[in-house]
Amino acid sequence: MFDQLSSLPPDPILGLMAAYRADSNPNKIDLGVGVYKDETGTTPVMKAVKAAESRLLSTQNSKAYVGPVGLDTFNDSVAELVFGKELTRKLGARRVTFQTPGGCGGLRLAAEFIQRIKPGSRILVSDPTWANHVPLLGDAGLEIETYPYYDRGCHSIRFDEMMAVLANAGPNDLVLLHGCCHNPCGADLTTEQWQAVATLADKNGFIPFIDLAYHGLGDGLDEDAYGLRLLAETVPEMIVVNSCSKNFGLYRERTGGLSIITTSEQSSRAAASQVAAIARGIYSMPPDHGASVVAEILQDDTLRQQWDNELREVRQRINALRSQLVTALKARQVAEDFSFIEREKGMFSFLGLSVAQVQTLVTDYSVYLVDSSRINVAGINNSNIDYLADAIANVVASPSA
């Protein structure tokens, strides 16, 4: 059986990781891997997480299964974090939330749920979008189409073109929207644009499907949730997937949530039974540790405040790095205007470089990024920003790159 197998090409990000590790250049910079890094280049464990883990270690008295739906205290706490206290109360039993194995698990669980109730449903995703959206959603059987989103030349959102395409989406369609900190471009909808999307969704009846992977890394927890909360108040049905990998730093714990909003309590109960059955058939029970940590933090005022402060520091550092990179490139009198980087949000932005220029950065300067020129801003720090700015300036100025 296995003799018939052929090897698949390596994932571009995983290939970059391997090349970076093998590179002996002391000035090498990793801007490819999409995890947060602090000033020392490490992905730290938050102090609030450490404190919560310490409590769990001393008080947890069982490792029994939590069930396909997951930890109730996690589900309730995360729903309130995502939707806010007042909206969570207003949604009531129309909203149901499930613990999932990371945001990826939530996306796939949602896709399997949609495929079960309406096979081959069409879901429109932004162009560009996170590369893993396509296999996570498409491999479940959904029909994937794209809508215009980012103009790489102008470094701005193609909003009029986006709305023109979404105007043709109807009740049997879903539209995937990045809740904040768009991956890979970092360009987010304005409040006015979110309002226009909500009006169109309500008018046409398409179902918003929100991927909230970077909640709190843009402008703030409430600010980053503006669009999804507006939609939840406007439309009768909606799907939201959130991740705790970035805002809690729980990458390896695979902790996320799936929330479904329906038209009635009866529909919500039916949806819950279907999702639980699907989860049971895929992974049976979600892992508990990360969810217990999140619940412990969100249900304790002291830990919640500590976590909020740490998240604010992460957010402020990323936004400061954006400004510092733009300033450093201006100081080198680079012909291209990189000021758009400062206006974008979250960990990612496109540099707007060609594939050849990206390859020059990798081979000549050991600056590692994917061919699309997407960078992880959090990979920059005070010790490498000047080297990075010099490398970009040299590549942009070189006629052969």
Contact of 104 with 282, CB cutoff 8 Å: no
Spatial contact of 39 and 376, defined as CB atoms under 8 Å apart: no
Q: The tokens of 135 are what?
A: 């296999």
Interaxial angle between packed helices 72-83 and 289-298, expressed in degrees from 0 to 180 and rounded to the nearest 10: 60
Decide if 246 is catalytic. Answer: yes
Show Cβ contacts of residue 93 under 8 Å, excluding neighbours closer than 6 positions. 265, 268, 269
Q: Which is the catalytic residue, given 246, 288, 307, 345?
A: 246
Q: List own/partner pairs for 336-344 with CB under 8 A and 24 or more apart.
A: 336/396, 340/155, 340/156, 340/187, 341/186, 341/377, 343/187, 344/185, 344/186, 344/187, 344/188
**Could you say which of 30, 37, 130, 194 is catalytic?**
130
Q: Is 118 a catalytic residue?
A: no
211 is catalytic: yes
Q: What is the C-alpha separation between 309 and 347, in angstroms, rounded?
A: 18
Torsion angle of alpha carbons 196, 122, 239, 315, nearest 10°? -70
Active-site entry in 211, 224, 307, 345: 211
Nearest C-alpha neighbor of 359 from the set 32, 130, 26 = 32
Backbone angles phi, psi at 177, to 5 degrees: -125, 140
Catalytic machinery residues: 130, 211, 246
